Amino acid sequence: MTTRPAVAPPPVWAFPAPEEHLLANGLRVLLHDLPGQYVLSMRIVVPAPLAGEADGKEGVSAMTARLLDEGTARHGAEEFAELMERHGMALGAGVSDGGLLVDLDVPQAHLATAAHLVLEALAEPVFPEAEVRRILRTRVAEIEQERASAAHRAARELARTMWDPADRASRPAAGSVASITGLTRDDIVAHHARAIGPHGATVVLAGDLAGVPALEVVTESLGSWRASTHVAPAPAAAPTPAADRVRVVVVDRPGSVQSEIIVGCPGPDRNTPHGWAPHPVLSFLVGGSPNARIDAVLREEKGYTYGIRSSFRPRVAGGLFLTSGSVRTEVTGESVELLLGILDGARDGFSAEELRTGVDYVAKTAPGRYATADAVADETAALALEGLPLDFTTRNLDGVRALTREDLDAAYRRTVTGEWSVVVVGDAATVVPELERRLPGPVTTVAV
């Protein structure tokens, strides 16, 4: 008779620790040697909070990022694109609330070429007038497409509802039609000169670095980056909640057969003094899977939705707790009532079984979440931008494994006070009467 082997618990996993260097130009370099990962992932983060954009120029940061590879002092836009393709590079740039993020993936053999091209894009973009006009036109068209997406429209309305109108967080990260059409090439050139530079920036490189002179390559290329007009930004501040954020807003979409719902409240960032460990577990238990509390009712029991998800969304400073998903139009009122009941009811506490399930999911799936070079580079870049220590991910997982029910309950109650900003995108003629009948307080209707 064959004896089954004993199944041992998995060993405790730790996030890979990078090798850290500081270059003469102020650039911080973090190197992750990950054997077997022959496509290298480079991430560059430059602190430049969106709150630093001038009034009426919202979106200039995002447009600057989109134009970095559209022609440099050495290569035109088409030539630059051909060089990237020839060397197997994938280059992208964007912005978050905290700054500029550049991501590059390249085969190990072409790292030096890629690093020099990234240096050109960061230090020597020329912002051709024709490319500037094209990118701005594209963004205006993109805004119209976003209006056609219920999820995009709901997120935009939630930001406008939740945050103080004077706060940058209340307006789209990539700008509005009014702000984008008012931008000029001079605005973009000035923003690049002021906001983009090496001092305080971080380069993360992850992948198989065996036999690759990674530090030498980065030093020779990005280590030569200079920006005499670069102005160090003020530290990012948490957004200010609107005085009237606790309300229900319906974005009218006549004839819609389903409603997009988004419910939110301010939440913590990962620097919270109370510890971040409970928050990914709470996200999973409340609305992180088909077995979570929300879908157990609205999907499995009621059949009103394909899925509704909850998550804590940290910013560089401050954050949000969001729940979003879509339901059939005729059950919108009941769905919102049930959803708020579930969210508020979780303040009564979580069970021992829920604690075990949530902790196991977050802690034991971490090796899979960070199994690739790009995932490791993304996490380390986020740590750098948020000002977190490099061992934060490992220490946070240790905190997850040590969580108690009391920790979960306290963390949830600190954020969830029952003061919700609720946005519904749907047929107002159908959903507003139901919402008014089921929820306290007035319901405001706005046009798409």
Residue 97 CB: number of other CB atoms within 10 A? 18
How many CA atoms are closer than 13 Å to the CA of 391, on its beta-carbon side? 3
pLDDT at res. 198: 96
Task: Please give the chain's pLDDT, 448 residues, in tens.
Answer: 678 888 888 888 999 999 999 999 999 999 999 999 999 999 999 999 999 999 999 999 999 999 999 999 999 999 999 999 999 999 999 999 999 999 999 999 999 999 999 999 999 999 999 999 999 999 999 999 999 999 999 999 999 999 999 999 999 999 999 999 999 999 999 999 999 999 999 999 999 999 999 999 999 999 999 999 999 898 899 999 999 999 999 999 999 999 999 999 999 999 999 999 999 999 999 999 989 999 999 999 999 999 999 999 999 999 999 999 999 999 999 999 999 999 999 999 999 999 999 999 999 999 999 999 999 999 999 999 999 999 999 999 999 999 999 999 999 999 999 999 999 999 999 999 999 999 988 899 999 8
Residue 1: its pLDDT value, please?
64
Half-sphere exposure of 217 (CA within 13 A, CB side): 21
What is the rounded CA–CA span in Å between residue 252 and residue 150? 10
Position 5 scores a pLDDT of: 86
pLDDT tens digits for range 129-141: 999 999 999 999 9
Please report which helix (H) or strand (E) contains residue 152, including its range: helix 150-162
Percent with pLDDT over 70 in the chain: 100
Residue 223's closest CA among 215, 234, 232? 215
Q: Is the distance from CB of 218 to CB of 225 less than 8 angstroms?
A: no
Contact by Cβ (8 Å): 242, 236? no
10 Å CB burial of residue 436 (0-12, 13-18, 19+) is middle
- Per-residue three-class SS string for 338-394: HHHHHHHHHHHCCCHHHHHHHHHHHHHCHHHHCCCHHHHHHHHHHHHHHCCCCCHHH
Edge-first strand listing for the sheet containing 308-314: 308-314, 319-328, 258-267, 421-426, 247-252, 443-447
Q: Write the DSSP symbol of residue 298.
A: I
Contacts of 264 (CB under 8 A, 6+ apart): 158, 162, 320, 321, 322, 323, 420, 421
Q: How far apart are CA 119 and CA 103, in angstroms?
A: 12
> Positive or negative CA dihedral for 410, 415, 419, 425?
negative
* Cβ-count burial 16-44 (b if 16+ within 10 Å, e if not): bebeebebebbbbbbbbbbeebebbbbbb
Q: Determine which helix (DSSP H) or strand (DSSP E) holds 328, and give its type and residue range.
A: strand 319-328
Closest to 339 measured CA to CA, from 430, 248, 443, 445: 248
- The chain-wide mean pLDDT, for the chain, equals 96
The C-alpha atoms of residue 308 and residue 289 are separated, in whole angstroms, by 9
- 3-state SS class at 427: coil
Residue recorded with tokens 């139901």: 434
Kindly report, residue by residue over 300-328, the tens digit of the pLDDT: 999 999 999 999 999 999 999 999 999 99
Q: How many helices (H) and strands (E) does the chain have?
A: 17, 12
pLDDT of residue 448: 83
Give the contacts of 358 (CB within 8 A, at least 6 positions apart): 281, 282, 284, 285, 350, 408
Residue 7: its pLDDT value, please? 86
Q: What is the dihedral of CA 371, 101, 325, 405, to 10 degrees?
A: 60
First to last CA, the chain: 70
Domains of the chain: 19-152+162-224 (3.30.830.10), 247-447 (3.30.830.10)
pLDDT of residue 407: 98
What integer pLDDT is reported at residue 238 of this predicted model? 96
**Closest residue by Cα to residue 201 from 384, 62, 51, 41:** 384
